[in-house]
Amino acid sequence: MIIIAIYILVRFHKWQYSVGAAVSTLHDAIILLGLFSILDGIVPFSLDIDQHFVAAFLTVLGYSVNDTVVVFDRIREDINKAVGTHKNFGDVVNHAINTTLSRTIITSLTIIFVLVVLFIFGGEVIRGFAFAILVGIIVGTYSSIILAAPTVYDLAKNNSDIAKPKAAQPKVVTP
């Protein structure tokens, strides 16, 4: 979590983005671990926490961070486009979420279709792995949209620094 937060801080230069990504990633981890704990012994397949689960867990966290970065990139891009307009930060975040929503859903559905087939026809050994990634992709997709971006908004709405782009540096022309 700390390394992810540092990466986001370096990439976006605002601590609010780091907190948003950390909240989203922590949410995904808790939901996936909790679901595996609750459903163990209830579902007719193995939900052991083994090396397959760890691989699925790390894959899900990586996917979630990637999805979150896509939304954050769009927010940053839209902030730069909003220079000189009277858009507030909430409108910028809303527009960024709306423009990335179709891409996010299409990408997630493509992965989900493959995982459902893998879950059904993959055999007993791979079923727990496929289930973990399937649940993780669903949770990671909605957390990037519903948790990460609104967290950034809530932390930054009273901070005028994040809602405005950096001033463009004048170009110096040398003869």
**Confidence at residue 22, expressed as pLDDT on a 0 to 100 scale:** 92
Average model confidence (pLDDT) across the chain = 84
pLDDT of 95 > 60? The answer is yes
Q: Residue 165: is its pLDDT beyond 70?
A: no
More confident residue, 32 or 82: 32
Q: What pLDDT sits at residue 106? A: 92
Mean pLDDT across 15-41: 89
Could you please state the CATH topology (level 3) that the domain comprising 2-156 is classified under.
Multidrug efflux transporter AcrB transmembrane fold (1.20.1640)
Q: State the pLDDT at residue 23.
A: 92
Can you give the residue ranges of every domain in the chain? 2-156
DSSP string, the chain: -HHHHHHHHHHHS-HHHHHHHHHHHHHHHHHHHHHHHHHTTTSSS----SHHHHHHHHHHHHHHHHHHHHHHHHHHHHHHHTTTS---HHHHHHHHHHHHHHHHHHHHHHHHHHHHHHHHHS-HHHHHHHHHHHHHHHHHHHHIIIIIHHHHHHHHTT-TTTTSPPPPPPPPP--
In the predicted structure, residue 108 carries a pLDDT above the cut 70: yes
pLDDT of residue 164: 56
Question: 86-90, 127-131, 139-143: which has the minimum mean pLDDT?
Answer: 86-90
pLDDT of residue 175: 55
pLDDT of residue 4: 86
Mean pLDDT of 151-161: 76
pLDDT at 172: 53
What would the mean pLDDT of 50-65 be, rounded to a whole number? 88
The values of phi and psi at residue 83, to 5°, are: -60, 130
pLDDT band at 127 (very low <50, low <70, confident <90, very high): confident
Tell me what pLDDT residue 87 has.
Answer: 76
